[in-house]
Amino acid sequence: MTLEPSALAQLPTANVRTRVRVPLRFADGFETVADVFTFHDLVDGHEHLLLGLGDWAGAVERSTAGGEPPLVRPHSECLTGDVFGSQRCDCGPQLREAVERISAAGGFLLYLRQEGRGIGLYAKLDAYALQDDGLDTYEANLALGRGEDERDYRAAAQMLHAVGADRIRLLSNNPDKAGQLEALGVEVAEHVPTGVHVSASNVRYLEAKRDRTSHTLDLAGIGELFGVTA
């Protein structure tokens, strides 16, 4: 999604509503603690969360003083991948990876209520059915009369500004996230790619992200490894 040049000027200020400390434990045994923030006045009205992980406050302070900025991942909610472990995407493994890496570096995970690249859970499953008939993940959205990617990151920028993270290291393979955040006044000092989490069921999905939306994914030889051709 391309933002209008006036997007930053029109972005209202969000304020912290609640901050609560939550211990986290993943299925593989990894444990950490998150400071979970909720907000007033998010522009899209959704209940997005910001999780402060590791020494996030120190990371913000160091960044303000000109040092290395906090590591940040805007992660779009994926019920099928994050909760049920679906192999059709790489969302669950990316979430798990991000929590550990951000906990070590100090920074923030933004958990954004943007199921199905913004089209919602039921529509995402409708798109899966179309993918079973041969469409790729983007073609399926278009066939449903939706956008290839309907997400915008105005609320993400609001949350980052609210906790003083105006300069970040972005943990993402998606150039659109960087472009939108920059347009919204968040300086992306470094692009940090996630790992490549591939399975036989998500090869074509990852190839579509690489080929259609320029995700930084090194998939050389992966299709052949799983016996899948684009």
Catalytically annotated residues: 149, 151
Residue 53 contacts residue 99 (beta carbons within 8 Å): yes
End-to-end CA distance of the chain: 25
